[in-house]
Structure formats: C-alpha cells, structure tokens
Chain A
Amino acid sequence: MGTAALAREQDLALARRAAAGERSAQRELFHGQRAAVHHTLFRILGSNRDLEDLVQDAFLEIFRALPSFRGDSTLTRWCQTIATRTAYLAISRRKPQAIDLALVEDTLPDSADTRRLVQVRQAARRLYAALERIDVKQRVAFALAVVDGLPLAEVAQLTESTVVATKTRVWRARRDLMKRAAKDSVLASYLEELGSRREGVDERREP
C-alpha cells in the first residue's frame, strides 16, 4: 500500500471512530487538524478576533459532517473546506466592522526582522480592513490565493467552486482593492508585492 493510500485509510478509520462518538478519536482529530483549521480561518479573517468561536463552529460542523467523509480528499483538506465555509458564513452574517488601524501601537523597530514584522502587521491591517468592504466570495478567494499563496485549483476545491470562477473572483478582488488603495501607499505597495508573489506561484504551479 502506498503512502497516500495508507494515509487515506488512516483518515477514514479516524473519521469513522470519531463519527461513532469515540471521544479519544474526536480529540485526536481535533488536535491533528486544529492548526490547519485555524490557519485557514486566520487567513480569511485576518486576525484572531472572534476566532475561538469560529474554530469551535468549524469543528462542530466537521464532527457533524464526519459520516459523509469518504476519503476523496485528505482529512486535512476536507476540514479546511468546512473551515472555509464556516468563515464565509461568518463574514456573510456580520456587518462590516470598523477597524481602528491605530488600535494597538506596535513596538519600535530595533532590527530588520522587527521592522519587517511591524510593517507587515500594519500592511495586513490595512489589507484586511479593505477586504472587509468587498464581496465575501471575492474576499475568501483572494485571501486564500493571494495572501496564503495557494494554487487556484486548491482554492477552487476549498471554496467548492470552479477554477475559472475562482480566478475571476481573485481578479475582481484585486481590482477593487487597488481602487481602494489609490490613497493608501502602504496598501498599494503591499498589494503589488503580494501580486508579484502570486504570479510566481502561478508560474510554478499552474502552467
């Protein structure tokens, strides 16, 4: 049995035990998948604010849906798909939030790394503040494809959509964001940088 087939069998066995209500299996699944689920939610939402409730919601949906897991994708990918759906629903339900960009003062930079971290945080805050104001599907696609750097095919899988639709959403999101960045040089240059990274990903993975 190959590695992939073995992993699939293990995923299926764990899913069956957890679906049957075996708490130790549920714990194993939770601890095994929590980083991936949190990563997906964080990328789409942009911060840990309200994320505890969303992680709980996502795992509750995962446990409820476990009987339908057939091993067509890895358990991690399947959990991330549910996490993506959870994030999408959460954003759709809530009103746009006013984000205070100066809410937390970052520490003064004292090295290149610290300086980079401070700048990336500032840029990310501006990016997610702008993402709050665009279409939810576009936002999710952009966050996964451009911010997280996933190939479009994977993003399409996570968003349960087609590659063409995903590509269109990313393109529209970028266009809307660039409009919003017209008066924000920090955001504009960050979008430019993320865009060029995205092109690099496309070149490597999506000939």
Chain B
Amino acid sequence: MSDQLELGPPPVESLSDVAWARVERGLWARLDADVAATAPASRRWLYLAAPAFAAAAGVALWIGLRGTPAPHAGVSDDPLIFTTSGAPSTVSAGDAHISLEAESKVVMSRETPTAMVERGAAWFQVAPRGAQPPFVVVAGDTVVRVIGTRFRVARYAEVTTVTVEHGLVDVRFHGVGVQVAGGQSWSSDRPNEISATMRTAHEPRVTPPPPPPAPVPVPAAEPPDETPMPPVRARPPAKPVTPPPAVSTKTVDPDEAKFNRLAALESRDPATALAGYLELSRTNGKWAAVGLYAAGRLAMDLHDPRAPTFLKIYLRRFPKGKNADDARKLLEGDHR
C-alpha cells in the first residue's frame, strides 16, 4: 500500500438475484420437509418397514453417504440410503415399494414415511395410507405427499418431474400446491402446467438406462435456437390446471441430447458440465446459444471469474436470444 489510501472495511459483496432465488427455493423446501418430518406419525410404519428394509438390503446397493447427510434431506440424521449404478433395483419399505432407475439415489427416513430423491428417478408404489400420515417424497424444492398411489419422481439437475400412474398426489413447490392425478405428470420446469402422459400400467416399472429426461422441452412450432434454462426466479402462484396436450414422441437432436446429458451432470460434476457447455457453444448448431448461456450461468454459480465474459459473448452473439434477459440480469447482479 504504497500510496497510503484509506481502505476502510472490505465491502460486503451482495449475492446475485439468482443466488437469492436459489437460497429461497432451498429454504422453503427444507421448511416443507421439516413440517413433513415433524407431522404426528404412527410408529407402526417403522415396525412394518424394518423387516422389509432388511430384505431389501440384499437387492439394493448399499453405499454409505459421503460425509454427513444433506441437511435438506428432512429424513433424520441416520437415514437409509439406496443407490443404483448401472442397473435398476427394487426395494420394499413397509407398505411402499420403490423401484430405483439406474444412476439413482434415494434416502429414506427410519422414523417417518419420508423419502428423498437425491438424484435420478424412482417409482413409488404406496398402499393406501388410511389414518396414517401421508407418505412424503422430497426432490429438490419439490415435496410430494401421497395417500395411496403409484408415481415416479425424477430429479435431474434442478428439474424435478412427478409422473402419476394411478391415484392422486399433492405436489408442493415454492409453497404452491398442485394435485397430479393418474395419467398426468408435472415438472418443476413448468410448475403451473400439468401434462398428460402416454405411460400406462402395462409399461415396465423400471425403465432401462440411460434415463435423464429433457429438462428443457423444445417448443414444437418454433425451431429452438435456444431454450430457456431451468427456473431461476420465484414463479407466480399456480393457475388452474389447463387440459394437457398429449406428449408426443420426437427424434432428439444429438446436440439436444448432449445438452440434456450435461444438464443432468451439473449437480454431480459441474466442471465437466461447464466444459461440455463450452464445447457445445463452439458448434454452429441451434444449441450453441443454449450451451453458451448455460456455460455463463453455471460459471456464475461456481464463482468462476470467466462467467461475465461468457455472458457478454452470449449477448454479443445472440442479443435477442431467449436467455438474453436472464443473461443481462445475471451480469447486473454480478458485483464481484
């Protein structure tokens, strides 16, 4: 400090709006899980579950948690952990049967009928609960309460999808609840919409790998030069459910498939995902813009100093891109 400037205390660097949105999302999800975990529960569920868990241990891959369980698990300090790698697996927990898809991880409470999908996807078949407290599945910010049904909860990157085969579940997301009935599905990507599914009861209960679904659906009418990224802001309250369009099968663009793989990889290996997004951004295809914006957003999340550069290049190349507004907001919120 050669020139003797008066420095003063270091400035408090504010969190970006995106970061605050993430904090808030996580907070409400943890509070919801808290409420679910402390609901008066019948211990009968635990006694019934014990032998089933013991039997299930032979089928499920049992891997210890790396360190302590995630604090947002809401499933007790000593949870049961089921993980699958290359192949799907099925476990029974009391009156619930859980079919884990490949590359999935489900954490279950020993004390309350609560499960958390940490990654991947799982089908849950829950017998009617009667007077017992509802079975609760937590996936990211999404809390699914069920009385008795068969449904699938998938969590890839920040997107959670709930698909109900039969019965009815109550899905809470950011404090807003919607009900998803048999033959319908809901995604945190579009929390105000409920879609019909083509899945029927005759379909296999455990789907083979590789499973990651597209977290960013492509609008059919307009070529997707870009697709908006997973939500970063609080969304308005849910509107009444509109009749859903049928889900159609379409051919997946290789770049789109690559993008989806990278999106699924973000939470596990963000550095590789970032490198992949940058690689995608160097192509001339329509997914280059999505990849470049995703690189900027992820770099910002990772506090990577290159983040503003990526976003500025994105805005220069795609000034009217679908993510341009979000890119500008990210840049405005970057006080580093």
A contact set with B: CB distance below 8 Å: 21, 23, 26-27, 30, 34, 38-39, 42-43, 46-49, 51-53, 55-57, 59-60, 63-64, 104-105, 112, 115-117, 119-121, 123-124, 127, 147-149, 185-186, 189-190, 193-194, 197
Contacts and interface: CB of A to CB of B under 8 A. Distances in A.
Contacts, number: 89
Contacts of B23: 34, 52, 55-56, 59
A119 B3 CA distance: 11
A56 B305 CA distance: 24
Contacts of A55: 15, 23
Chain A CB count within 10 A is highest, among B9, B28, B30, B31, for: B9
Contacts of B175: 23, 27
Nearest to A146: B9
Contacts of B31: 26, 60, 63
Size category of the binding interface on chain B: 20 to 34
B236 interface: no
B10 A64 contact: no
A124 B15 contact: no
Contact of B9 (A47, A105, A119, A149): A149
A63 to B, nearest CB: 6
A60 B10 contact: no
Given A52-B22, A56-B27, A38 B7 contact: no
B11 interface: yes
Nearest to A123: B7
B71 interface: yes
A120 B11 contact: yes
**The 10 A-B residue pairs with the shortest CB-CB distance in the complex, in nearest-first order:** A124-B10, A120-B7, A23-B175, A42-B12, A104-B305, A116-B5, A56-B26, A55-B23, A56-B27, A52-B23
B30 A60 contact: yes
Nearest to A63: B31
A127 to B, nearest CB: 8
A134 to B, nearest CB: 17
A52 B19 contact: yes
Contact of A120 (B10, B19, B303): B10
Nearest to A34: B20
Nearest to B30: A60
B13 interface: yes
Contacts of B12: 38-39, 42-43
B27 A147 contact: no
Contact of B34 (A64, A116, A117, A190): A64
Given A56-B27, A119-B5, A42 B34 contact: no
Contacts of B6: 116, 193
Nearest to A35: B14
A205 to B, nearest CB: 16
Given A42-B13, A116-B7, A186 B1 contact: yes
27 contacts: A23-B175, A26-B28, A30-B27, A38-B12, A38-B14, A47-B13, A48-B15, A48-B19, A48-B303, A51-B15, A52-B15, A55-B15, A55-B23, A56-B27, A56-B72, A59-B23, A60-B27, A60-B30, A104-B305, A104-B336, A105-B305, A116-B7, A116-B8, A123-B1, A148-B9, A193-B7, A197-B9
A116 to B, nearest CB: 5
A195 to B, nearest CB: 12
Contacts of B7: 116, 119-120, 123, 190, 193
A88 to B, nearest CB: 17
Interface string B191-234: 00000000000000000000000000000000000000000000
A148 B6 CA distance: 16
B24 interface: yes
A80 to B, nearest CB: 13
A119 B1 CA distance: 7
Nearest to B35: A21
Given A30-B24, A57-B71, A119-B7, A49 B303 contact: yes
Contacts of A56: 23, 26-27, 30, 72
A36 to B, nearest CB: 11
Contacts of A63: 31
Nearest to A128: B10
Chain B CB count within 10 A is highest, among A42, A48, A149, for: A48
B172 to A, nearest CB: 10
A147 B9 contact: yes
Contacts of B15: 38, 48, 51-52, 55
A39 B125 CA distance: 46
A53 B72 CA distance: 10
A54 to B, nearest CB: 10
B37 to A, nearest CB: 12
